[in-house]
């Protein structure tokens, strides 16, 4: 059975071992740290998660603080046994995430298409 949670500028759904996050335009880093990351930790701690899809619809360019948080999230996912992580973002955001985040043993994939990401993660 799928689980779904939402915040002011984000949603997450966990279904059949795949966690799908969507970060909406206007989301602030502080909102992720205060609210969404806590939910992320709870889902990883209480569920078997094999793969993740992160849909990024943020307008602002990524800062070093954002990259640091992405890396922290990747390390936590690796510790929890996540095997695949796809990022859905447009253009330069997709490229910049792929090149700057250390993800341990997690296989990563960047695309501009959500359906493509889900298909890849489910392998």
- CA nearest to 57, candidates 85, 33, 93, 20: 93
- The string of pLDDT tens digits covering residues 53-107 is 999 887 666 677 777 887 888 899 999 999 999 988 876 555 555 555 567 789 8
- The string of pLDDT tens digits covering residues 31-61 is 778 889 999 999 999 999 999 999 988 766 6
- Domain 3-122 class, CATH top level: alpha beta
20 close to 27: Cβ distance less than 8 angstroms: no
- Report the range out of 21-25, 26-30, 90-94, 103-107 with the highest average pLDDT: 21-25
Q: Could you tell me which residue, 28 or 93, shows the higher pLDDT?
A: 28
Q: Give the pLDDT confidence score for residue 108 in this predicted structure.
A: 86
DSSP-based three-state secondary structure for 53: strand
Residue 11 scores a pLDDT above 80:
yes
1 close to 12: Cβ distance less than 8 angstroms: no
Domains of the chain, by residue range, sit at: 3-122
pTM here? 0.86
């Amino acid at each position: 059975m799928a689980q779904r949670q939402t915040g002011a500028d984000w949603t997450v759904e966990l279904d059949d071992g795949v966690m799908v996050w969507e970060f909406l335009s206007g989301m602030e880093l502080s909102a992720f740290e205060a609210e969404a990351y806590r939910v992320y930790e709870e889902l990883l701690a209480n569920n078997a998660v094999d793969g993740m899809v992160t849909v990024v619809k943020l307008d602002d360019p990524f800062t070093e603080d954002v990259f640091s948080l992405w890396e922290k999230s990747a390390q936590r996912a690796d510790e929890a046994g996540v095997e695949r992580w796809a990022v859905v973002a447009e253009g330069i955001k997709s490229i910049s995430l792929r090149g700057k985040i250390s993800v341990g043993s997690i296989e990563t994939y960047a695309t501009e298409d959500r359906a493509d990401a889900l298909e890849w993660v489910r392998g």
